C-alpha cells in the first residue's frame, strides 16, 4: 500500500512509458497507413490528367462515374466471389483446423507446415501451376477424356469457377491459422464437461465448441473476405481479364488506363464497404457473445 501523497508522482511515471510505447506505433501508423490513405482520398477528388497522372483540381467526376451500373455489377460480382470464397474457406478450413488442433503438438506443427508451404510459394508460380493443370490439353482435361466423362476438352481456364478455386486455395491458410489457434486454446475438459452433462458430440459442438472458437472464425472471415474482395492477381491470371472484379478495375485504372482519380475513388468505395462490414460484424459478434443460451 502506498501512502496518499504518492499519486501525483505515480501518474507521471505511468504516463511516460505509455507515450513511449504508443509513440513509435503511432508514428508507424501515421506514416504507413494514415498518410497513404489520406493521399488516396485526396486523389479520388482530383481531376484526371490528359496523359495520365493527376491534375490537382477538385472534381467529383470519379464518384459520378461510379454510379454507372457497370461498376455496380462489378462490385456485386466481386462481393459474391468474396462471400463464397470466405464461406468455402470456413467450411473447408474449420474441420481441418479442428483436426490439427486435436493432434499432438509435433504432428500439429508438421500439418501446419503443409498448409504453409504453398503459402510461401511464389503466387505467380502457384497460379501458373493451376493454369497448366486446367488448360485445354492439360492433365485434368486429359484425365476426364480418358475416363470418358467428357467428349471434348473443356475450357476451364478464364472461368469464374477457376477464379474461385484460385481464391479459395490462396485464402485457405488465412482461414485455417486463426481458427486453429482458437480451437487449440479450447480446453478439452470443457468438451468433457459437456459430454458429462449429457450432450452428444453435435450438441457439444453447437453449444460449446462453436461459441468458444468464434473469435477464430471471426478473424478467419476478416482475413479471407477483405483480401478476396480486393485481390487482382488471381482474378487477372485465372480469369484472364475476361471476368472483371473490382480489384482488376482498380489495378487497371492505376495501370493501363491511367485514370488515377477513378482508381482512387474505387479504392475509397471498397474501403468504405469493408469498414462498414467490419463495423456491422463486430456489433453482431458482440450481441452473439452476450446471448449464447
Partner 1 sequence: MKALADAIVKLLHVDKWFGNNHVVKDLNLEIQEGEFLTLLGPSGCGKTTTLRMIAGFEDATGGSIEVQGERIEDKEPYQRDVNTVFQNYSLFPHMTVFDNVAYGPSIRKEPKAEIKKRVTEMLELVQMSGYEKRKPEALSGGQKQRVAIARALINNPRVLLLDEPLGALDLKLRKQMQIELKRLQRKLRITFVYVTHDQEEAMTMSDRIAVMRDGVILQLGHPMDIYDHPTSRFVADFIGESNVFEGVVKAVNGELLTVETASGMAETQGSGFSVGEELYVSIRPEYLSISREPVTGFDLPARVKDFIYMGTVVKTSLDLADGKEIKYSRFEADATLREGETVYVHWDTHKSVAIKKEAEVEAS
**Which residues would be at the binding site for partner 1 (CB under 8 A)?**
187, 189-190, 192-200, 203, 207-208, 211-212, 289, 292-293
Q: Are 135 and 154 in contact (CB under 8 A)?
A: no
User: Residue 4 or residue 200: which is nearer to partner 1 going by CB?
Assistant: 200
User: Residue 154 or residue 207: which is nearer to partner 1 going by CB?
Assistant: 207
Query: Least distance (Å) from partner 1 to the CB of residue 179?
Result: 17
Q: Please report, in angstroms and rounded to a whole number, the separation of the first and last CA atoms in the chain.
A: 42
User: Residue 35 or residue 193: which is nearer to partner 1 going by CB?
Assistant: 193
Query: Least distance (Å) from partner 1 to the CB of residue 182?
Result: 13
Cα-based angle 33, 167, 132 (whole degrees, multiple of 5): 125
User: Residue 55 or residue 192: which is nearer to partner 1 going by CB?
Assistant: 192
Q: Output Rg (C-alpha) for the chain, integer angstroms.
A: 25
Query: Least distance (Å) from partner 1 to the CB of residue 98?
Result: 18
User: Residue 211 or residue 240: which is nearer to partner 1 going by CB?
Assistant: 211
Query: Least distance (Å) from partner 1 to the CB of residue 282?
Result: 17
User: Residue 57 or residue 289: which is nearer to partner 1 going by CB?
Assistant: 289
Query: Least distance (Å) from partner 1 to the CB of residue 209?
Result: 11
CA-to-CA distance for 167 and 172, rounded, in angstroms? 8
Query: Least distance (Å) from partner 1 to the CB of residue 127?
Result: 41
For residue 238, what is its C-alpha cell?
A: 485465372
Query: Least distance (Å) from partner 1 to the CB of residue 194?
Result: 7
User: Residue 30 or residue 210: which is nearer to partner 1 going by CB?
Assistant: 210
Question: Which residues, in sequence order, are bridge partners of residue 48?
Answer: 54
Amino acid at each position: 500500500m502506498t501512502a496518499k501523497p504518492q499519486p501525483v508522482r505515480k501518474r507521471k511515471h505511468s504516463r511516460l512509458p505509455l507515450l513511449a510505447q504508443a509513440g513509435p506505433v503511432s508514428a508507424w501508423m501515421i506514416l504507413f497507413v494514415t498518410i497513404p490513405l489520406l493521399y488516396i482520398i485526396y486523389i479520388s477528388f482530383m481531376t484526371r490528367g490528359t496523359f495520365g497522372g493527376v491534375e490537382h483540381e477538385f472534381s467529383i467526376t470519379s464518384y459520378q462515374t461510379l454510379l454507372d451500373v457497370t461498376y455496380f455489377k462489378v462490385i456485386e460480382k466481386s462481393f459474391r466471389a468474396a462471400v463464397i470464397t470466405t464461406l468455402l474457406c470456413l467450411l473447408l478450413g474449420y474441420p481441418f483446423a479442428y483436426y490439427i488442433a486435436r493432434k499432438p503438438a509435433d504432428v500439429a506443427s508438421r500439418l501446419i507446415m503443409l498448409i504453409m508451404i504453398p503459402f510461401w510459394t511464389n503466387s505467380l508460380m502457384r497460379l501458373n501451376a493451376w493454369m497448366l493443370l486446367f488448360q485445354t490439353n492439360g492433365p485434368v482435361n486429359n484425365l476426364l477424356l480418358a475416363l470418358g466423362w467428357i467428349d471434348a476438352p473443356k475450357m476451364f481456364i478464364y472461368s469464374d469457377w477457376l477464379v474461385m478455386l484460385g481464391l479459395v486455395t490462396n485464402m485457405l491458410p488465412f482461414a485455417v491459422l486463426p481458427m486453429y489457434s482458437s480451437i487449440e486454446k479450447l480446453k478439452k475438459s470443457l468438451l468433457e464437461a459437456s459430454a458429462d452433462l449429457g450432450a452428444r458430440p453435435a450438441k457439444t459442438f453447437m453449444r460449446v465448441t462453436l461459441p468458444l472458437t468464434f473469435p477464430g472464425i471471426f478473424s478467419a472471415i476478416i482475413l479471407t473476405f477483405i483480401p478476396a474482395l480486393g485481390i487482382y492477381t488471381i482474378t487477372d491470371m485465372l480469369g484472364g481479364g475476361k471476368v472483371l472484379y473490382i480489384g482488376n478495375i482498380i489495378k487497371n485504372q492505376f495501370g493501363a488506363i491511367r485514370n488515377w482519380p477513378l482508381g482512387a475513388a474505387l479504392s475509397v468505395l471498397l474501403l468504405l464497404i469493408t469498414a462498414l462490414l467490419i463495423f456491422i460484424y463486430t456489433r453482431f459478434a458482440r450481441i452473439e457473445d452476450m446471448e449464447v443460451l
